[in-house]
Amino acid sequence: MNNTPIIFISYSHDSHEHKEWVKELASFLLVNGVDTILDQWDLKLGSDLAKFMEHGLTTSERVLVICTDKYIEKADSGNGGVGYEKMIATTKLLSEQDSTKFIPIVRNVTKNMKLPTFLGSRLYIDLSNNIDTEKQRVELLKEIYNETEIKPAIGNNPFKVNLDSQTNDSSSIESEISQKHGVRAAEVSGLKKLRQGMKYSKAREIILDASWQGSNKRWQEVPKYGQVADLYYKNGWHEIADCAGTGTSPCRFEFHDIHENKLVVITEGECLNEEYEDPKGDETCDLDVSSWYLE
């Protein structure tokens, strides 16, 4: 949206009082930096009414739809200028069903259905006589200027320590791990070489060089067939904990240090050989690292 948003007001000429209220609302928007298209200002004798409505609805960034009992009746029956504007708006909504271009404003609607059918169940702002307050109008301005409340960014799992040096400060990671888990700095420093997407065989070398040991799975617990068996017997990755056979086929590998802290590495994808094919015979295979953390 431009620095000066352009708004078109769609409404019905219910009464002189209603037209004056609409003009006052348009004046409020103009004073607050919103370029407002209104027939009472922008239409002259002899102007093409249909062209004005079509141009206003299609070129404006947002459209304020002032919903009253008479507006809803005309829109649902397709009568008059309101019916014509409804036809144009419906075409827009059919092609872009998630569009937020149209902002319904409810004004003294007495029926249970507060909006015309073409606006469906869209969220609206109520500016009826007893609710048309400064607070409500500020909320309308926030919507027009896209200054609505922003959803906070998602944080990290508080029960897992992220060891990825690409997204975290190394010194703060080492301090946090040392305080929470009692891991020696040398053991953490070596893990800073780990990268998402690197081959597990390389990640395994880094982990072992940093004085971590594989939490060996007992051979009695290993199935005779399947990916876990191949990784355990062919590759000699006895730290394999489990693999899932669905989704991204994640596998879990576990390591520990002398303080019994546990380091978990998660991989994804099928284990493939150097030619990215299923291993044949006694060929070893490799996996891609997706994440790692202390548990």
pLDDT digits (tens, 9 = 90+) for 49-87: 878 888 888 888 999 999 999 999 888 887 777 766 776
pTM: 0.51
Say if CB 163 and CB 293 are below 8 A apart: yes
Which pLDDT does position 126 carry in this prediction?
94
Domains within the chain, CATH numbers bracketed: 6-144 (3.40.50.10140), 161-294 (no CATH)
Distance CA 134, CA 136 (A): 5
Q: How many residues does the chain have?
A: 295
Backbone angles phi, psi at 215, to 5 degrees: -80, 90
Cα 169 to Cα 68, 134, 176, 192, 261: the distances in Å are 57, 46, 11, 10, 21
Give pLDDT tens digits for 3-57. 799 999 999 999 999 999 999 999 999 999 999 999 999 988 887 887 888 888 8
The CA distance from 132 to 125, in Å, is 10
Give residue-wise pLDDT tens across range 179-199: 555 555 555 667 888 888 999
Residues 6+ apart with CB under 8 A from 24: none
Q: Is the pLDDT of residue 133 over 70?
A: yes
Q: Nearest to residue 259, comparing CAs of 291, 211, 218?
A: 211
* pLDDT the model gives residue 167: 43
Exposure pattern of 107-133 as b/e (b: 16+ CB <10 Å)?
bbbeeeebbbebbeeeebbbbeeeebe
The pLDDT-based confidence of 166 (bands split at 50, 70, 90) is very low
**Per-residue pLDDT tens digits for 82-122:** 766 776 676 565 555 667 888 999 999 998 889 988 887 88
- Give the model's confidence band at 208: pLDDT under 50 very low, under 70 low, under 90 confident, else very high: very high
